[in-house]
Amino acid sequence: MADVKFLKVTKKFNENVILNGVSVEIKDHEFVVIVGPSGCGKTTLLRMLAGLEEITAGDIHIDNILVNNIHPSKRQIAMVFQDYALYPHMTVEENMSFALRLMKMDKREISARVHEAAAILQLTKLLKRMPKQLSGGQRQRVAIGRAIVRKPKVFLFDEPLSNLDAKLREEMRVEIAKLYQRLNATIIYVTHDQVEAMTLAGRIVVMNHGIIQQTGTPIEVYRKPDNLFVAGFIGSPTMNFLHGKLSAEGEKLFLKNDSLTLYIPPFLLADGARNAGREVVLGIRPDDVLVGSGTRENCSEKIEGVLEVSELLGHRENLYIKAGENRVLATVEAFFNQSPGSKVSVRFNYRNMHVFDKKTQQRINN
Ligand code: ATP
């Protein structure tokens, strides 16, 4: 296995800058998920690492060797694609052994590797089948098997679960997590699905518009998003945002907008009065919006609102609440038992609140 370094990697297609000075180090045996919206440059980054795309500027190292000009076949990388890319006229076994046969590897070694990978992926009974006789999940397992038999230094996964339905996607996600534990490999996995990123990654790299927005463990990125983009992209349902201006009254600081005055405690924003006049966005996750009466420690005063819609999810329920001009989503335990139009009051948990500067979009609280 190997570590991988991207150093100020830039990619232009014609004059369009697709990746802009991307630097990230991926350690040996790490499972790194690169996540971001469609078109942000994730696949291009993987393709450059695999040698399938030229690098406009910057360097890529695998195991401390500069690979910018090394042929793809010599990089010891295996890539698993979204569309499986299986050969339709070959059996599962032939598909899995194809690259090894091309390398003219010893037949017994090929057979051993294919059977070992098939056992890991529960494909042993399917080795003689053709791809068209397999389900989507089985085909994706064959594509993964084809990567495993090559014993690469680094596995690259490019949205491998996108073509599967929701249930199968969940199952395969668990399979990939188990596979990682078993192979103990270096994996770089690209997805636009933040749930995949949160559940699979040892470390997440969040990208937007060809720029890394934040790198960290899933919990770091979830609990302390560096900027508004990461805050809105990571977490489901999405974080609530309240826009307004900070205003000081004596020693006290408040967020004010047309229909809300919200006290901002010093433990949330130290040196608060210095920020008076600043336009900010407060971020609060739906789980940290508490609904109903009663006082709660570290929470805001009650804010009165009206329930617009409720969605029952099973043991949880999403409540869409309008408080003046502010819209807030609260996720609470089922069953809330109130009809749309009912009055509800909410409180915000200050301990998990985020403050972003509206202009720079960067986080300004600790
Ligand atoms: P998705 O999740 O939709 O696959 P992505 O984040 O992987 O998106 P890329 O496939 O890396 O994004 O594409 C990044 C940008 O580069 C897109 O705007 C795309 O249109 C552009 N692009 C990709 N390949 C080429 C190419 N060969 N020529 C010109 N533009 C390209």
Do 132 and 26 lie in one domain? The reply is yes
The structure tokens listed for 63 are: 């195991």
Q: What is the pLDDT of residue 172?
A: 85
**CB count in 10 Å sphere of residue 1:** 18
The structure tokens listed for 239 are: 């974080």
Please report whether residue 18 resides in a domain: yes
Domain finish residue from 212, 233, 254? 233
Q: What is the pLDDT of residue 271?
A: 77
How far is Cα 81 from Cα 134, in angstroms, rounded to an integer? 17
How far is Cα 132 from Cα 129, in angstroms, rounded to an integer? 8
Please report whether residue 363 resides in a domain: no
Domain finish residue from 198, 233, 268? 233
b/e per residue 50-82 (b: at least 16 CB within 10 A): bbebebeebebbbeeeebeeeeeeebbbbbbbb
List of the chain residues with pLDDT < 50? none
Count how many domains the chain has. Answer: 2
CA of 60 to the centre of ligand 1 (A): 19
Do 222 and 246 lie in one domain? The reply is no
Do 152 and 255 lie in one domain? The reply is no
162-219: pLDDT as tens digits: 888 888 888 889 988 988 988 878 999 999 999 999 999 999 999 999 999 999 999 9
Please report whether residue 317 resides in a domain: yes
Residue 2 one-letter amino acid = A
Domain carrying residue 270: 240-357
Identify whether the C-beta of residue 82 lies closer than 8 Å to the C-beta of residue 163.
yes
Identify whether the C-beta of residue 145 lies closer than 8 Å to the C-beta of residue 102.
no
Closest Cα to residue 225, out of 38, 31, 30, 355? 355
Nearest CA to ligand 1 atom 1: 38
Identify whether the C-beta of residue 210 lies closer than 8 Å to the C-beta of residue 20.
yes
Q: What is the pLDDT of residue 29?
A: 93
How far is Cα 342 from Cα 320, in angstroms, rounded to an integer? 11
Q: What is the pLDDT of residue 1?
A: 62
CA of 350 to the centre of ligand 1 (A): 40
Nearest CA to ligand 1 atom 18: 39
User: Which one of 9, 11, 42 would you pick to mutate in the ligand 1 pocket, going by the greatest count of ligand atoms within 8 A of its CB?
Assistant: 42
Do 195 and 90 lie in one domain? The reply is yes
In angstroms, how far is the first alpha carbon of the chain from the final one? 37
Identify whether the C-beta of residue 96 lies closer than 8 Å to the C-beta of residue 142.
yes
CA of 42 to the centre of ligand 1 (A): 8
* Helices and strands (DSSP H and E) totals, the chain: 8, 20
DSSP string, 223-273: HS-SBHHHHHHSSSSPPEEEEEEEEEETTEEEEEETTEEEEE-TTTSTTGG
Do 177 and 250 lie in one domain? The reply is no
Kindly state the DSSP code that residue 89 receives in the 8-state scheme. T
Do 193 and 267 lie in one domain? The reply is no
Nearest CA to ligand 1 atom 19: 39
User: Which one of 34, 40, 190 would you pick to mutate in the ligand 1 pocket, going by the greatest count of ligand atoms within 8 A of its CB?
Assistant: 40
Please report whether residue 362 resides in a domain: no
How far is Cα 228 from Cα 170, in angstroms, rounded to an integer? 28
**Protein residues whose CB sits closer than 6 Å to any atom of ligand 1:** 13, 18, 36, 38-44, 192
Please report whether residue 366 resides in a domain: no
Here the CATH number for the domain that contains residue 248 is 2.40.50.140
Do 221 and 351 lie in one domain? The reply is no
Q: What is the pLDDT of residue 47?
A: 94
Kindly state the DSSP code that residue 300 receives in the 8-state scheme. P
